[in-house]
Amino acid sequence: MSRYEPSQSEAKWQAAWDAAHIFEARRDPAKPKYYVLEMFPYPSGRIHMGHVRNYTMGDVVARYKMSCGFSVLHPMGWDAFGMPAENAAMERGGHPKDWTYGNIADMRGQMKPLGLSIDWSREFATCDPEYYGQQQAMFLDMLDAGLVYRKNAVVNWDPVDMTVLANEQVIDGKGWRSGAQVERKELTQWFFRISDYAGELLDALDRLRDWPEKVRLMQANWIGKSRGLQFAFSTVDAPEGFDRLEVYTTRPDTLMGASFAAISPDHPLARHLERHNPKIADFVAECRRIGTTEEALEKAEKRGMDTGIRVRHPMDEAWELPVYIANFILMDYGTGAIFGCPAHDARDHEFATKYGLPIEPVFAPLEGDYPAGEYVPLKSEAVRYVRGFAGDEVQTGEDAVAAAIAFCEANGIGHGVTNYRLRDWGLSRQRYWGCPIPVVHCATCGVVPEKKENLPVRLPDDVTFDQPGNPLDRHPTWRDCTCPKCGGAARRETDTMDTFVDSSWYYARFTSPHAATPTDAAEADYWMNVDQYIGGIEHAILHLLYSRFFARAMHKTGHLPAKAIEPFDALFTQGMVTHEIYMTRDSQGRPVYHLPEDVENGVLKATGETVEIIPSAKMSKSKKNVVDPMNIIRDFGADTARWFVMSDSPPERDVEWTAAGAEAANKFLARVWRIANDIAEGAGGDAAADLALRKAAHKAIDEITKSIDGFAFNKAVAKIYELANTLSKSAASNEARRETMRVMAQLMGPMVPHLAEDVWALMGGHGFVVQAPWPKADPALLVDDTVVLPIQINGKRRSELTVPKDMPATEVEKLALADETVIKVLAGQPPKKLIVVPGRIINVVI
RNA sequence: GCGGGCGUGGCGAAAUGGUAGACGCAUGGGACUUAAACUCCCUCGGGCGCAAGCCCAUGCCGGUUCGAGUCCGGCCGCCCGCACCA
């Protein structure tokens, strides 16, 4: 008998699949289509276990659907623009392009041995001019359609990377990649009008039924819809042109509790005042140093400065409120100005306490005492209004807000406004390694779009990274060009696009990766939408929200059909691959981390020193708790790696990689191999055991099919173990065992495709197992003639009864009452109640 | 603070309201072997008992139900997301 040698057979099958072109997606009108997509990787140069898990999940789905008769599209590409390439060029020299394409070649070389059913003929990288040129064409169409515009904006400036960051890319006041403290800077930036779609992007979430509830909720919170009142205070002693101050509030019902007004340091009034008042200028400058992020503002102490200006309360001309500049007011939200009601808002309370401002309650709890500090009940909670002006005395906050808006509108005090937290998407980046924004700046014509026939605007190759900032900006010739409109001398836009733009439409490009237009209508119409999208939860907000917007923008500009405005029908977010961390300490007590391969039985292989074991965490290079998939493939084969990441943990949960688990996975595959060889050698057989084995096989078909359909791959794996155990113990005829083994090869095929092909061929299967029709469970074999019914007494299992499966309940009752244990317990008394759930259980109540 | 999720053996985990712990790992025992590796078989939540069996057990407390890991209410703990959004 030959040994299980994955290194040889895996390469052999991969070559055979390639030669037969079976994974090349074809538009086939005779078949239903299925588009399965995993979030494409950034080409860092090495694949990691997270990739293996992600792509194996997609591969399981793709191969399963292929067997089920679908025409499957399962593509792969590279999210190839971005700063790491420039950082590498800065640190090590060389060119981002060489670095990136080198990494892509390396990673492709590591992915191919996994045996994924990918249509590699569709592969592209977002840094290919053929791709980003089409992206530029769409940018021009979107510019034309009014979906892109330029404005001056206060932006997050990363002083290390010398680039602008989106608010979403600022974490803890620091750049998400560089970690540098973010500063405020004003620049002219390009923006997508995603906020125009805020309402629609929010409403459409309800229709994404096959998305995780969690992701939809996160997006809804991010979009942040609120209903409130916008109105104007008239001002007293304000500079010319500022006789009104527009404010927005979500709690107009607390208007009678107002004790001050406050404006953002970026509010036009604050900007005016800082020019004339050095103290205000100092204060505003200090506020700006905090940064633009909400989180930074949150963490800062509430501070303000009285401007000396006052506003008149809209309900009472004589009632005047002071106007402060306050560091916690965001210019981007509402009007950048508020009124403060310290009795019912924690921030306002802190502020009022600090500056000695009045705190007047507007409402009180229905029961109990008025709490110390601010009183902020849920809006859905009913309270008693003591200083209300609209609606009932006792009402919920929600009702009070609605009544207050209606009252104010009727009395000419402002109007109801729906606001969103979502802001427009700033896409300009002052970087080299990105898609150039295809416009030129002409002294006479202003901003002029490049002509489409001049696309792509290619990145120049002759650049250096010996100084920070954008090499395009200091390029001697690239930025000089002629104006497409007047033909005069002009300058190219040197900003490039946020890499989230690249990943916002790659799924659409995969439907026609070589087309001369961004998409091909017939192809997009056939393949869209993505039936199953798989990726990490870390993209729950940005990437997915941007993609949803972009699909709408592509539809508006004629690049996607209407049905594709929600591009991902189903979304699955997989968990991480984790590993224990092994640590020792150096002579100064500083932690030293060790790779799992250097540790055995809790000690360092090299020195015998005992390591401290820190519970599992996401694999990360800094903690050295990483396992290189290439080593696993070398030692055990790709099927073992694939089998391991599919077993044990539910796919949405984290899975812990253990060496023991990997070995166990490998042992099992070798065992399947042995069982198959055993059968091939003609061993065994008594036909009397055939039916039992066939029943087990068909139950497995039924359960595994359901498990794969429901993304419960760990359960499918468990069922395969069960079937293997049954098969290896079965005394059935060789023919029946051969048939069962063929079924098992098919059921295992999505997870361990190479072994499955080997077994399939060995068992006399025709063609590739991946192309064989998925087995169908015979309903007749799923039911047993007899069932074992547990007998409970008062809900506790005490005995059991074996009866024909369709025995009437009355018969079962008789048998139950004749049961020895039941007779003993009843001791001659009749039961209080006898419950028979046919085919399930019997419960005797005494 | 708000929103969401999750708490089951030594571990990863199963369980349409119906026999809690499938399946795997680890553990212990055995077979094979000169010995080991490989492989195969058995054991494997806790307690009492010679045994048949009984009791306890799904974070804690209550409730609904013939029957609750599952449903409801209240706690405790952990994880994730959002976070002065006016």
For tokens 């008769």, name the residue.
A69
In 3D, which of A125, A65, A86, A774 has the Cα closest to residue A502? A125
Cβ neighbors of A22 (< 8 A, separation 6 or more) are A117, A768, A770, A771
Whole-angstrom Cα distance, residue A224 to residue A451?
38
Q: What is the pLDDT of residue A348?
A: 82
Residue A378 CA, nucleotide B2 C1', distance (Å): 10
Q: What is the pLDDT of residue A289?
A: 65
For residue A228, give the nucleotide whose C1' atom is nearest its CA: B86
Residue A691 CA, nucleotide B40 C1', distance (Å): 25
The phi-psi region of residue A259 (left if phi > 0; otherwise alpha if psi is between -120 and 50; otherwise beta) is: alpha
Q: Report residue A37 as tokens.
A: 């997509």
Q: Which residue is nearest to nucleotide B54 (CA to C1')?
A: A798
Q: What is the pLDDT of residue A808?
A: 84
If you write DSSP's letter for every residue of A657-673 in order, what string do you get? --HHHHHHHHHHHHHHH
For residue A835, give the nucleotide whose C1' atom is nearest its CA: B66
For residue A661, give the nucleotide whose C1' atom is nearest its CA: B25
In 3D, which of A173, A44, A156, A161 has the Cα closest to residue A111? A44
Inter-residue contact A340 to A348 (CB < 8 Å): yes
Whole-angstrom Cα distance, residue A785 to residue A800?
16
The predicted model scores a pTM of 0.90
Q: What is the pLDDT of residue A643?
A: 94
Going from the C-alpha of A41 to that of each of A51, A270, A512, the distances in angstroms are 8, 45, 20
**Where on strand B do bases come within 7 A of a protein Cβ?**
2-5, 12-16, 18-20, 22-26, 38-41, 54-55, 66-68, 80-86
Q: What is the pLDDT of residue A704?
A: 95
For residue A575, give the nucleotide whose C1' atom is nearest its CA: B80
Inter-residue contact A457 to A136 (CB < 8 Å): yes
Residue A671 CA, nucleotide B33 C1', distance (Å): 21
Whole-angstrom Cα distance, residue A473 to residue A10?
50
Residue A374 CA, nucleotide B83 C1', distance (Å): 18
Successive 10-residue mean pLDDT values, chain A, 846 residues: 85 96 94 95 87 92 97 96 85 89 95 96 96 96 94 76 65 65 79 90 87 84 85 89 89 89 87 88 76 52 85 91 86 83 81 86 77 70 82 83 90 87 84 93 93 93 81 87 91 91 95 96 96 86 90 95 94 81 78 77 76 70 78 92 90 82 92 93 81 93 93 93 92 93 96 97 95 94 84 84 83 85 80 84 85
Residue A793 CA, nucleotide B67 C1', distance (Å): 10
Residue A463 CA, nucleotide B69 C1', distance (Å): 63
Residue A571 CA, nucleotide B79 C1', distance (Å): 22
Going from the C-alpha of A833 to that of each of A102, A120, A705, A811, the distances in angstroms are 75, 66, 40, 16
Q: Which residue is nearest to nucleotide B68 (CA to C1')?
A: A795
Residue A381 CA, nucleotide B73 C1', distance (Å): 19
For residue A655, give the nucleotide whose C1' atom is nearest its CA: B12
Cβ neighbors of A616 (< 8 A, separation 6 or more) are A578, A579, A580, A581, A625, A654, A656
Q: What is the pLDDT of residue A182?
A: 73
The phi-psi region of residue A115 (left if phi > 0; otherwise alpha if psi is between -120 and 50; otherwise beta) is: left
Q: What is the pLDDT of residue A438?
A: 95
AA identity, residue A257: G
Within A378-423, residue ranges assigned H as helices are 397-410
Residue A649 CA, nucleotide B45 C1', distance (Å): 21
Residue A688 CA, nucleotide B13 C1', distance (Å): 35
For tokens 């997606």, name the residue.
A25
Residue A702 CA, nucleotide B67 C1', distance (Å): 29
For residue A296, give the nucleotide whose C1' atom is nearest its CA: B84
Q: Which residue is nearest to nucleotide B82 (CA to C1')?
A: A221
Cis bond leading into A456, ω under 30°?
yes
Inter-residue contact A170 to A177 (CB < 8 Å): no
Q: What is the pLDDT of residue A384?
A: 84
For tokens 């690049």, name the residue.
A559
Whole-angstrom Cα distance, residue A326 to residue A264?
6
Q: What is the pLDDT of residue A128?
A: 96
Residue A16 CA, nucleotide B69 C1', distance (Å): 48
Residue A243 CA, nucleotide B16 C1', distance (Å): 67
Residue A7 CA, nucleotide B40 C1', distance (Å): 27
For tokens 């901003």, name the residue.
A447
Please give the helix or strand (H or E) that residue A176 lies within, else none: none
Whole-angstrom Cα distance, residue A748 to residue A713?
11
If one counts every other C-beta atom within 10 angstroms of the C-beta of residue A259, the result is 19
What angle, 0 to 180 degrees and rounded to 10, lies between the N-to-C axes of helices A268-276 and A278-289? Answer: 130
Whole-angstrom Cα distance, residue A265 to residue A281?
10
For residue A297, give the nucleotide whose C1' atom is nearest its CA: B84
For residue A262, give the nucleotide whose C1' atom is nearest its CA: B86
Q: Which residue is nearest to nucleotide B22 (CA to C1')?
A: A718
Residue A368 CA, nucleotide B74 C1', distance (Å): 20
For residue A247, give the nucleotide whose C1' atom is nearest its CA: B86
Residue A77 CA, nucleotide B15 C1', distance (Å): 40
Inter-residue contact A115 to A14 (CB < 8 Å): yes
In 3D, which of A717, A748, A730 has the Cα closest to residue A689? A730
What CA dihedral angle connects A757, A763, A764 and A765, to 10 degrees?
Answer: -40
Residue A28 CA, nucleotide B77 C1', distance (Å): 54
Q: Which residue is nearest to nucleotide B83 (CA to C1')?
A: A295
Inter-residue contact A627 to A579 (CB < 8 Å): yes
Q: Report residue A325 as tokens.
A: 């500049």
How open is the CA angle A797-A800-A802, to the nearest 5 degrees? 155
The CB-side HSE value for A371 (13 A sphere, CA atoms) comes to: 12
For residue A837, give the nucleotide whose C1' atom is nearest its CA: B18
For residue A707, give the nucleotide whose C1' atom is nearest its CA: B14
Whole-angstrom Cα distance, residue A454 to residue A291?
40
For residue A302, give the nucleotide whose C1' atom is nearest its CA: B84
For residue A224, give the nucleotide whose C1' atom is nearest its CA: B85
Please give the helix or strand (H or E) that residue A84 lies within, else none: helix A83-92
Q: Which residue is nearest to nucleotide B4 (CA to C1')?
A: A214
Q: What is the pLDDT of residue A368?
A: 67
For residue A340, give the nucleotide whose C1' atom is nearest its CA: B86
For tokens 């400065």, name the residue.
A305
Q: What is the pLDDT of residue A829?
A: 80
Inter-residue contact A216 to A236 (CB < 8 Å): no
Residue A792 CA, nucleotide B60 C1', distance (Å): 27
AA identity, residue A540: A
Residue A223 CA, nucleotide B3 C1', distance (Å): 14
For residue A220, give the nucleotide whose C1' atom is nearest its CA: B82
